[in-house]
Chain A
Amino acid sequence: MSEAVRPAAPRSVPFLRQPAFWIVVTLLAVGAVRISQIAALFFRAYPIATVTAIVMFGLLAVPFWLFVSELDFLEREPAGLRVLAFAWGGLVATSVSIPGSTALDNLIAKLGSPDLAAEWGAALAGPTVEEIAKTLGVVAIVLIARAQVNSVLDGIVYGALVGLGFQIVEDVVFAIGAVQQAGLGDRVQPVITTFLVRGFLAGIWSHTLFGALAGAGIGYLVVRRERGRRHRIAVAALALLGAWASHSLWNSPILRDSFGDSVPGVLAVLLVKGLPPLLLVLYLVRRAHDREAAYYVGILETVRDPELITEGELRVLGSGSRRAAARRLAAVSAGREAKVAVRLLQRAQAALAVELSRDSTAVEAGAGLVRERRAALAALGYPEAVEGARSWKHTASTVGTAVVALAVLWVALSALGTS
């Protein structure tokens, strides 16, 4: 059996009959009450700023949500569990972290000194409480739906969504804190500044990233059962430590003044502190995705039915960039409808692979949908979802997007008063 994927076993006990499910539901309910109380205070004091913060950071969550949800194209996580992960981060982990981090920061001041707490409190207290509380969200999902955590990539996706939920609620709390601190009444300017700083400049390498790293460890712990328990627990602990270290480095005073306060200087600090964990998580995602893809493509190779998947489509299905290239070629060759049809065909083929991983004799269960979608594609005069040659337009578009992103970052830093 492949080590990359642990196919889902049929769930023997319904959710409602699992005690763990009710414990998780209770924790979510308590978190929801606590965050609602905080939100009510915000609404009473600063209604316009609060609505603005919720809308702005809510919109910021959308691209992150779509990106993270797409990470596991071949075996998408159920929407309900994705929402659960997001809710854990936004309701439970935040409710726990607000009193916990404050108390730990105070303990650092009491057991160390106020100077130590001022300099290192944010780097030690926040990551310690928050990373544990977020990682427990992935454990909660394993507890109630272990069948849905069957690859390391699943752990990454759930961990990232827990982190995203945490990030959005924390950003709203910080935005209203900035409004209160500004002392100018119910104004939106501090919300916009917070959005630029926390959502825009720090958004890429924030809790979503740390959560993904810790989630990878839980995924490994659950899936790689050919390894001993000690080894898996050590790997999960190492992943949590990596998330903590990344978070701590980001919050730490290290390099704070090393590059000056010019735009290039601040950009350099952002990159030096944020890029290592970002690259590490991208590497883990790529590795986990490729292993999972190789497993599912291997299953589809055994079908040997070009009506279901052709040789060219097999080569495309295992790679995110090739799947996208196939959709682009369809759009160029047969229009937008063909692009959508290719995407739907790829989804059906992925679903067939997942079905076959659970029951190798169940070809016909998913084959009907694949045939239906291939017929729809053929009706558009486009019979096969294969990739085309890499075009200079796509390369130029990629480079242009990167340049525009850097320019926007530069403008944002300048707008925040960096010299």
Chain B
Amino acid sequence: MGRVTRRQLTDLPGTLGLPVALALASILAALAFGLPVLDRALPAERPVTPGEPYRVGAGVTVVPPPGATLDVTGTRPGETRGTALFRTGGVSYTIDVEPFTGNLTEAAVRLRQRITGISGHQITGTQLAVSTAGGLAGVQGGYTAGDRDGRYAVFVAQGLIIEVMVSGDDADLSTVPTTIGTLRYESHR
């Protein structure tokens, strides 16, 4: 066994103490706060071709609302599932597609529970039948979340659940098409 020399005792990284600890905290701050700041600094919205179907995922496409842009932070297309987020003015349109083994009633219950599971969200009014431009039957309803209102619709087709949520404040919702039926779904599975 040998002796621990002075050089060894002052070697990286233990005895640099405070500077290394501050560097460590800085790296953590860069990860926790710097990356989100950078994320917010870059625009998320991309133009979409008006009238052209957009691929949500799992073979489901949707024609975006007129004048809408695509928010890439809420859009993740995939082979078996997918999600798309469109924005127009202060209104957001979210479409989620994922595998599902239940029927339309179960799908509607699931979506309503997910909405009411979010703090401050409440279902309003009654649930109505709705169909897509392609004739796929579903149900739609409304919800409120403080100063924001919303509409939801849900469809079940070919082992998939397709959920649509449209939300915005009263003023914005009144200036854009809020009817779920303006959205169009085409399953290519």
Contact = CB atoms under 8 A, between A and B. Distances in A.
Interface of A: 1-2, 6-7, 9, 18-20, 23-24, 27, 41, 44-45, 92, 95-97, 99-100, 102-104, 106-107, 109-111, 113-115, 117-119, 121, 129, 132-133, 136, 139-140, 142-143, 146, 149, 180-185, 221-222, 225, 229, 232-233, 299, 356-357, 360
B28 interface: yes
B4 A184 contact: no
16 contacts: A1-B3, A6-B4, A96-B31, A99-B36, A100-B31, A104-B35, A109-B44, A110-B42, A111-B42, A118-B77, A119-B78, A142-B14, A143-B20, A183-B109, A233-B12, A356-B1
Contacts of A97: 31
Could you say which of B1, B4, B43, B44 has the most chain A C-beta atoms within 10 Å of its C-beta?
B1
A1 to B, nearest CB: 3
A412 to B, nearest CB: 20
A159 to B, nearest CB: 15
Contact of A1 (B1, B27, B73, B113): B1
Nearest to A10: B4
A143 B15 CA distance: 7
Contact of A23 (B15, B24, B75, B110): B24
A117 B76 contact: yes
Contacts of B18: 19-20, 23
Interface in B19-73: 20-22, 24-25, 27-28, 31-33, 35-36, 38-39, 42-44, 57, 70, 72-73
Contacts of A182: 110
A373 to B, nearest CB: 24
Interface residues of B, number: 47
Contacts of B17: 18-20, 143
A92 B110 contact: no
Contact of A118 (B3, B35, B82): B82
Given A27-B25, A106-B39, A183-B117, A20 B73 contact: no
A221 B13 contact: yes
B38 A103 contact: yes
B131 to A, nearest CB: 23
Contacts of B14: 142-143, 146, 149, 222
A161 B104 CA distance: 46
A96 B24 CA distance: 12
A155 B189 CA distance: 50
B25 to A, nearest CB: 6
A221 B14 CA distance: 10
B27 A140 contact: no
Interface in B101-146: 109-114, 117, 119
Interface string B2-13: 111000110111
B35 A99 contact: yes
A142 B20 CA distance: 10
Given A9-B9, A23-B25, A229-B12, A107 B38 contact: yes
A139 B76 contact: no
A132 to B, nearest CB: 7
A19 B15 CA distance: 11
A109 B24 contact: no
Contacts of A44: 119
Nearest to B9: A9
Given A129-B35, A146-B15, A181-B114, A140 B24 contact: yes
Given A9-B4, A114-B75, A117-B76, A143 B110 contact: no
